[in-house]
Amino acid sequence: GQNIDQPTEMTATEGAIVQINCTYQTSGFNGLFWYQQHAGEAPTFLSYNVLDGLEEKGRFSSFLSRSKGYSYLLLKELQMKDSASYLCAYMDSNYQLIWGAGTKLIIKP
Amino acid sequence: GAVVSQHPSRVICKSGTSVKIECRSLDFQATTMFWYRQFPKQSLMLMATSNEGSKATYEQGVEKDKFLINHASLTLSTLTVTSAHPEDSSFYICSARGAADYEQYFGPGTRLTVT
């Protein structure tokens, strides 16, 4: 099947830390992507994990556990401009991206 | 990073007319291009996958005679929405991938409004 789940919406405070979780079930897996999408714009690439563990890139980090079918995106030192939707997607055995519905992140001052 | 352009960024057309959207990879050869549609507050929905020189593979429920896709070169793919109807109004996004790459590079999207 092609099941991938992430929360619909999250709220966080400027300067704080937020973790967006993503779970998936698939028989074929070639990595997990996180994209950021501002309203009315196309997605922009944030991270790609294919091995277990944490990948850190500036204020953003992404974690993967293949055995648990679980990933998270960690955003530190939140800024107002981080208000956006965050999409997780796994790449299946045909190298096609299977998208989650996206998590709308609202940052409050 | 790799750059993908889309044209036009916005288009308004009358019901029954056809609209062509272009997707270009500007600094790399895109062996595979993807066309997505996104309705407000919903996730990306893959419409079709096209490989250069081959016929596009359409997802279930997407009418290939209505959404014509041409991927004639390694840098250009086009999506033509034929006989457009108001329910075709949506945000259409293309992405491109090179031969030795897993990442998809997205175009800026095209906002189609059918009146």
pLDDT tens per residue, range A19-59: 999 999 998 899 999 999 998 888 999 999 999 999 999 99
What pLDDT, on the 0 to 100 scale, is given for residue A2? Answer: 58
Question: Residues 30 to 69 of B: which have CB under 8 A from any A CB?
Answer: 34, 42-44, 46, 49
Instruction: Tell me the CA distances in angstroms from B6 to A3, A42, B89, B91, one per residue in order.
Output: 30, 11, 17, 12
Average pLDDT, chain B: 92
Angle at A64 between CA A61 and CA A70, to 5 degrees: 120
Most confident region among A1-5, A72-76, B52-56, B72-76 by mean pLDDT: A72-76
Beta bridge partners of B80: B20, B68
Q: Does A7 touch chain B (CB under 8 A)?
A: no
Distance CA(B113)–CA(B89), nearest Å, equals 5
What pLDDT, on the 0 to 100 scale, is given for residue B44? Answer: 87
Distance CA(B115)–CA(B106), nearest Å, equals 27
Q: Burial letters for B6-36: b for 16+ Cβ neighbours within 10 Å, e otherwise?
A: beeeebebeeeeebebbbbbeebebbbbbbb
Closest by Cβ to B44, choosing from A45, A91, A99: A99
pLDDT at B98 over 90: no
Chain B nearest C-alpha distance from A69 (Å): 20
B40 contact partners, CB below 8 Å, separation of at least 6: none
pLDDT at A94 over 90: no
What pLDDT, on the 0 to 100 scale, is given for residue B1? Answer: 67
Mutate to test the interface with A, among B36, B44, B60 (most CBs of A within 10 A): B44
pLDDT at A1 over 70: no
Q: Does B105 touch chain A (CB under 8 A)?
A: yes
Distance CA(B23)–CA(B81), nearest Å, equals 14
The share of chain A scoring above pLDDT 70, in percent, equals 98
Chain A nearest C-alpha distance from B107 (Å): 7
Distance CA(B7)–CA(B111), nearest Å, equals 10
pLDDT tens-digit map of B5-29:
999 999 999 999 999 999 999 988 9
